[in-house]
Chains A and B, each alone.
Chain A
């Protein structure tokens, strides 16, 4: 970590749990989600992984909002959550449909886009 960054982080009002900590957690969540998404083949698990990445990003936004004493971050996260919920409904419905077609949740079963 560079000096500039530590200086910047040291100025935060929350001396104990700094923005830095939040960002580390959010980055970890995001990375875990990403790794899961890339490595797993089960569509539902992959979907869950995307949710994890989502929440990682959301966490970062709330942390930044808190840092700047600004509600935009929270507003945005709530907005995203709403959308994500709707999206989850759609996505799970699609997954069910796909499962009905091939009786498998493996993504490799669906490679029609191959050029």
Chain B
């Protein structure tokens, strides 16, 4: 099932590249729709009663001596992200119909390759396979940006590639070290993520800290976390619309997904110890980049920076290390993919008509484009975190998770090493978000009508949105509403996998504490390094 999901777009890409140009659009639409159908079928066949266990497992040995296997599978977290990817696929293709007029085959082929690669990342159950797909996503996106972007595209593409690549190479070192530890423990190479977990958790505190640092270097760039975020605004601004959508929608989630999949379970001791530091970075990102958004004149850059700000909430939720926080964070990945993806679509539609992204040159467009105005306001509100729309539930849960992290609640269940202050400071991000997004909406949509000098109507596109464009935005809007009002099924499917991760972290930490205590009892003369009591740290 999952193999098919990876192979359909991959072979589709081949087909699109080889077939005559006039079929490119049609073919790629059909291919992405087919992938969507397959993913929906997969969603139906998924074993929702045990969402934490890996379904659709398939495995082929690739390099026997090194234990590298082509192994795919999905638990509910992976499946949800795969669904998101599959959903954005056809929308990106359909959304690019009029925007891309040159080298069409090439464009769609690479777009399909990108989809295959991203699906592969989420489906991989083997560390090596994960890493290969993780890096492979760079190539199609590099091509898309450097060939189809706007004026500064070369620089943006190179920077994007080198920046993220440098980061992930360091992450690779960390991952290989984990595999090596596993090799020593199990006397054999294995890259299976599940098998490596227990081995990784047995690393010492110091080892874990280094491994976490290495992984952070790679994944934090991808998220992106302050201060390694600067490639993102550039890449987003220069990328073609579909590129931006995929970038914001799913590629950034690779970083947070990797946090969830590797950093949390592989280095539980280090996570508990350094979560406050990472949370501080996330919070700085939320407020700092939020304020930067406000200083933007380029509407696309504004949304790009807002991505950085938003993903700060996501990281905050993850490192709250409790049910509410992590579940909220995973939900946030989906929600951000939808609402920010949609915002990029909106801006792309605007750009196609006005060929500018500068807010100085446009204003009051709601008079001319009421339908567009509706969608922009809708997705802005989803992005601001208006209750009833999707952004709220996840943002609220991330903050709530951070808030109760480390507190003694009823039932003594609050776990983690953050605290109310983290949530309180991060929550000011909600005000900042309202400030910059309303600033954008106010300038673009409201006030007296203002259009760029020498503007004339697009020859193919109507003044307001065409049916095709409405068709692209409507599914996202519907999903935003559904996830905002009825997130229950998603949340319930997250209960089991998240609980498993948290149990793992809790067990390892408690074991470490017990061992330290025993060591202290056994040899009281030995000076002990101070033990961080994970469950009791309150900042």
Q: Indicate whether A and B are direct neighbours in the complex (CB within 8 Å).
A: no
Binding site for A on B (CB under 8 A): none
Binding site for B on A (CB under 8 A): none
